[in-house]
Amino acid sequence: MRYVDLTVILLYLAGITWFGARFRSSQKTLRDYFLGGRATPWWAISFSIVSAETSMLTVIGTPALAFGGNLGFLQVVLGYLVARIVISALFLPHYFRGEMYTAYELMRLRFGERIRRMTAGLFLVLRALAEGVRVFAISIVISIVLGTGETASILLIVCLTLFYTFEGGMTAVIWTDVIQMFLYISGAILSFFVILGHIPGGWDAVVAEAGRAGKFEIFDFRFSLSVEYFSRTYTFWAGLIGGCFLTTASHGTEQLLVQRLLAARNQRESRLALLSSWVVIFALFTLFLLIGVILYVYYLQSGAEPPRPLDRIYPDFVWNNLPPGVAGLVIAAILAAAMSNLSAALNSLASTTIMDFYRPAAALREAAGAGEADARRHRSALRMGRIATVFWGAALFGIGLLARNWGSVLEAGLSVASVLYGALLGVFLLGVLTRRVGEKAAMAAMMAGFLTMIYVKTSTSIAWTWYVVIGTCATFGAGILMSLLVRERSHAG
């Protein structure tokens, strides 16, 4: 047993759980619990966005991509920047008209209550499935460290994260994200240099060996309209266009990220947090890809057989080759990424459940019996928010167990989300770019987009980087067509 490393890890787990739970006293209303009272500075939200966007899939999946391929994933990251500009111009002005708690309240204002429930329900399914992959990824690291089974590993992290999210709400999520991001970045930088120290000849040897193998290649500008071209995952156009659509959907329509944007003090700070987060994202993906390149050279020089699947390669090397204490710190950093993302998912799933399903029904009951005091209503709503958090903790634990056979954790997480993102982004674009399309047409369009993506996923070899593009275009096109066929009143105006 590595007692020094285990002590570092356990101290981290206990410390971050204690820190997050300390925010309980500031949680008085749903505005506090789900939006952090809209008092969080932009830079903290920026780090929280990075924390939610990267996750453990980035930590263990990105080095594996470079180990088995090259730096081509950075083409997708360029699309992330374009998406942030689109969201700042297109969606943020709508989100800051009035006080919204979830992204799907915008759909109610534009189309009606049914489309709000439909988009909110789609998010719940999407985030639960995608988060299930991330929860399973935790077990890969924990099982390496403790040698425990997958079930016990998942249960440990879910319970600890659930505790401080239950207690501290969105305020705990954001500020634990900030701490965990600093640990996460420090651990990655430290491991980079320690792993590089295991290479005879240092960085020059890495450049020489990896250069000959084409590991530093980034851009693939080739283009054609053939099926084979669209089956290739990492090309310049797939990265730029696909990455843009993917991030516009995730950051502009999915509550996990939109909730952070809504927690800003105003629209200007929300935009600043969103745009500045890309700089950190780009640096992090580059760092983890380079770690994968260094590991490739290490195994090439040593002649050792790398662990399988390749998702294990980074945490396995860290645990078995880094000095005592250093290994524990880096593993704690990996767990930090997992816990910060899981806490965000729990809070966003709970906020959507309460604000888009429970609260509309509760408002009707309150209107019928107006004698209830405001303080009592706030306590009741806050209690339901915490109950919803516990429910989703249990649900994600179950889905994490089911996700064990879904392939590469990074690409599995992105492809699962991408199947549903197209319908979600398509209907949001119908909402902000059109005036003629009504609720029935929008609902039919969502269904058309979803069915299109089911076909693409199951019956074609098209790469996941094109999924959101195809789903969005199918949804938007179907909505325009249905609006010409079905006459109905629009809520636009």
How would you write 223-259 as a 3-class SS string?
CCCCHHHHCCCCCHHHHHHHHHHHHHHHHHCCHHHHH
Q: Are 95 and 107 in contact (CB under 8 A)?
A: no
Q: Assess if residue 98 is contained within a domain.
A: yes
Structure-token pair, residue 203? 């960085």
Predicted confidence (pLDDT) at residue 437 exceeds the cutoff of 80: yes
Condensed to tens digits (0 to 9), the pLDDT of residues 29-43 reads 777 777 777 888 999
Number of domains in the chain: 1
Q: Assess if residue 444 is contained within a domain.
A: no
At 93 the pLDDT is: 92
Mean pLDDT check: name the lowest of 118-127, 186-195, 243-252, 307-316.
307-316
Predicted confidence (pLDDT) at residue 399 exceeds the cutoff of 60: yes
Higher pLDDT, 270 or 17: 270
At 367 the pLDDT is: 44
Would you give the distance in Å from CA 232 to the centre of its chain? Answer: 23
157-179 mean pLDDT: 81
Structure-token pair, residue 59? 């930590």
* Mean of pLDDT over the chain: 82
* Residues of the domain holding 63: 3-405
Q: Assess if residue 472 is contained within a domain.
A: no
How would you write 41-91 as a 3-class SS string?
CHHHHHHHHHHHHHHHHHHHHHHHHHHHCCCCCHHHHHHHHHHHHHHHHHC
At 191 the pLDDT is: 83
| Sequence-separated (6 or more) residues with CB below 8 Å from residue 281 | 50, 53, 54, 77, 80
A 10 A CB-CB count for 98 gives: 9
Q: How far is CA 15 from CA 8, 18, 40, in A?
A: 10, 5, 22
At 415 the pLDDT is: 62
Q: Assess if residue 9 is contained within a domain.
A: yes
88-92 mean pLDDT: 93
Of the pLDDT bands very low, low, confident and very high (cuts 50, 70, 90), residue 89 is very high
Q: Assess if residue 468 is contained within a domain.
A: no
Of the pLDDT bands very low, low, confident and very high (cuts 50, 70, 90), residue 180 is confident
- Which uninterrupted H or E stretch holds 176? helix 150-196
How far is the C-alpha of 459 from the C-alpha of 436, rounded, in Å? 34
161-170 mean pLDDT: 80
Condensed to tens digits (0 to 9), the pLDDT of residues 204-218 reads 999 999 999 889 998
Percentage of residues of the chain with pLDDT beyond 70 = 88
Mean pLDDT check: name the lowest of 77-81, 86-90, 167-171, 188-192.
167-171
Q: Assess if residue 103 is contained within a domain.
A: yes
6-22 mean pLDDT: 81
Query: What CATH number has the domain bearing residue 209?
Result: 1.20.1730.10
Percentage of residues of the chain with pLDDT beyond 90 = 20
Of the pLDDT bands very low, low, confident and very high (cuts 50, 70, 90), residue 272 is very high
Whole-model pTM: value is 0.81
Q: Assess if residue 376 is contained within a domain.
A: yes
Mean pLDDT check: name the lowest of 27-41, 89-103, 370-384, 405-419.
405-419
Mean pLDDT check: name the lowest of 142-146, 220-224, 368-372.
368-372
414-437 mean pLDDT: 84
Of the pLDDT bands very low, low, confident and very high (cuts 50, 70, 90), residue 403 is low
Q: Assess if residue 309 is contained within a domain.
A: yes
Q: Are 101 and 360 in contact (CB under 8 A)?
A: no
Tally DSSP H helices, then E strands, for the chain. Answer: 21, 0
